């Protein structure tokens, strides 16, 4: 059903966020020929590479190099050929005016129908909350003619979808959109396996996919859904009929 002309922009705060939370959905868009663009803001070297730092004499450069090759592998698993790593510092990630302009430019270049990124609240992860605001504001600025950036033309307001945070309830997450990923779950599994240093997350997000599959079946009465991913949305659904 996914239209080949769909432009999907994914903005991931750290190296692996896009895999844990949306790997199946991204793979599905890629598989069906949509234009997927992935921006990874940081290697997550400071905040999300705990196991790598257990190695004696570990350095920031080395952690980044490892994360870089893991990202490369994982994007292959998911069928993403178009990605960029912006190498911001994480934990804390500072998102200033220059970085805002960079993302506005990217949105105007990609002209995404959907932007997939972090949601507004995320217990235990302050970077994710900053990135939510960064992406939200950039999406609004990208539509405004008065925000003049040479070489760009304004975009239409994209739909914004938010990743499920690690601990959903205490992050006030509501699953507003549940996407069936049965056909790409194996790709997600493979992509998760690229991040060898985080075995507990590999298991955790496989469980989550099963759980959301259960919810998908229960809410829809459609028993073909085995695995799913859940997302929040920033704006109401607007369209021609009930979905």
Q: Which of residues 211-230 bind a second copy (CB under 8 A)?
A: 211, 214-216, 218-222, 225, 228, 230
Asked if residue 48 binds a second copy (CB under 8 A), the reply is yes
d(CA 97, CA 91): 19
d(CA 83, CA 204): 25
Options 56, 98, 145, 150; binder of a second copy; rule CB under 8 A: 145
Q: Which of 144, 132, 84, 111 is nearest to 8 (CA)?
A: 111
Q: Pairing between strand 83-85 and 35-40?
A: parallel
Least distance CB 219 / a second copy (angstroms): 4
Instruction: Map residues 172-191 to x or -, x wherever contact with a second copy holds by CB under 8 A.
Output: -xxxxxxxx-----------
Asked if residue 235 binds a second copy (CB under 8 A), the reply is yes
Nearer of residues 74 and 129 to a second copy, judged by Cβ: 129
Asked if residue 123 binds a second copy (CB under 8 A), the reply is yes
Options 72, 84, 87, 203; binder of a second copy; rule CB under 8 A: 203
Options 70-78, 79-87, 163-171, 190-198: segment touching a second copy (CB under 8 A) = 163-171
DSSP β-bridge partners for residue 114: 8, 159
Options 68-76, 78-86, 91-99, 191-199: segment touching a second copy (CB under 8 A) = 91-99
Half-sphere exposure (CA, 13 Å, Cβ side) for 229?
28
Q: Which of 83, 18, 4, 22 is nearest to 229 (CA)?
A: 22
Cis check for the bond before 92: say yes or no (omega within 30 of 0). Answer: yes
Q: Is the dihedral of CA 84, 86, 91, 96 positive or negative?
A: negative
Asked if residue 61 binds a second copy (CB under 8 A), the reply is no
Least distance CB 37 / a second copy (angstroms): 15
């Amino acid at each position: 059903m996914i239209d080949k002309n769909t432009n999907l922009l994914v903005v991931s705060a750290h190296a692996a966020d896009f895999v844990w939370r949306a790997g199946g959905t991204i793979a599905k868009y890629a598989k069906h020929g949509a234009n997927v663009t992935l921006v990874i803001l940081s290697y997550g070297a400071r905040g999300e590479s705990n196991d790598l730092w257990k190695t004696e004499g570990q350095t920031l450069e080395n952690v980044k190099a490892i994360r870089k090759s893991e990202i490369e592998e994982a994007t292959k698993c998911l069928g993403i050929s178009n990605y960029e790593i912006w190498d911001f510092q994480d934990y804390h990630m500072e998102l200033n005016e220059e970085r805002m302009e960079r993302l506005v430019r990217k949105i105007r270049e990609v002209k995404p129908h959907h932007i997939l990124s972090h949601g507004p609240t995320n217990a235990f992860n302050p970077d994710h909350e900053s990135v939510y605001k960064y992406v939200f504001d950039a999406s609004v600025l990208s539509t405004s003619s008065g925000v003049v950036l040479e070489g760009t033309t304004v975009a239409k307001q994209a739909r914004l979808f938010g990743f499920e945070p690690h601990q959903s309830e205490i992050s006030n997450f509501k699953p507003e959109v549940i996407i069936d990923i049965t056909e790409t779950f194996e790709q997600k599994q493979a992509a998760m396996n690229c991040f060898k240093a985080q075995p507990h997350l590999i298991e955790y997000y496989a469980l989550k996919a099963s759980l959301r599959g259960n919810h998908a079946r229960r809410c829809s009465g459609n028993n073909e859904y085995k695995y799913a991913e859940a997302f929040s949305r920033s704006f109401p659904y607007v369209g021609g009929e009930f979905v």
